[in-house]
Structure 1
Amino acid sequence: MSDHQCPDCAVQMEPTTVTAEGVGDLYVETERDGGILDRLGVGHHTALAAFLCPECGMTRLYADLPE
């Protein structure tokens, strides 16, 4: 999951950490009744990975979806 290109700068984005004060790891709620995430087999919480563009500072979050 580390091969992410910035859509604006076309450079390799670097892994980074995004935190919120008083909050642990970031995740998305993925419990869906019959929705696309449910059909993909994604659990109730899915971890997020953050990537930062060293050129423009754009930060993107990616859900760690099963392949």
Structure 2
Amino acid sequence: MATRRCPDCGVTLEEMTMRTSDGFELHLVTDEPKKGILGSLGAKEKVKPTAYACPECGLVRQYVEE
């Protein structure tokens, strides 16, 4: 994985974990069908974004690592 840098400050972004208030991790639902029988039933693929925060300005960005 490449080092992510803040577009505003130029410093290295720090990897963070984002969770809901219930303690669950966030995920994104894509338009791609899930593999296997769940996909044939209409279930969509989920991906987990990784959050990065700038320690200088507080900018937060999320990326899907592939």
TM-score with structure 2 setting the length: 0.71
Runs of at least 4 residues of structure 1 off by over 3 A? none
| Counterpart-to-counterpart distance in 1, 2:15 and 2:55 | 10
TM-score with structure 1 setting the length: 0.70
| Counterpart-to-counterpart distance in 1, 2:13 and 2:46 | 25
- Counterpart position of 2:65: 64
- Counterpart position of 1:6: 6
* Paired amino acid for 1:52: A
The two structures, once aligned, show a CA RMSD in angstroms of 2.0
Say which one has the larger Rg: 2
Q: Identity across aligned pairs (percent)? A: 32
Aligned residues: 56
Counting strand residues as a fraction of each chain, which structure ranks higher? 2
Note the residue ranges of structure 2 that are not aligned, 5 or more in a row: 34-43
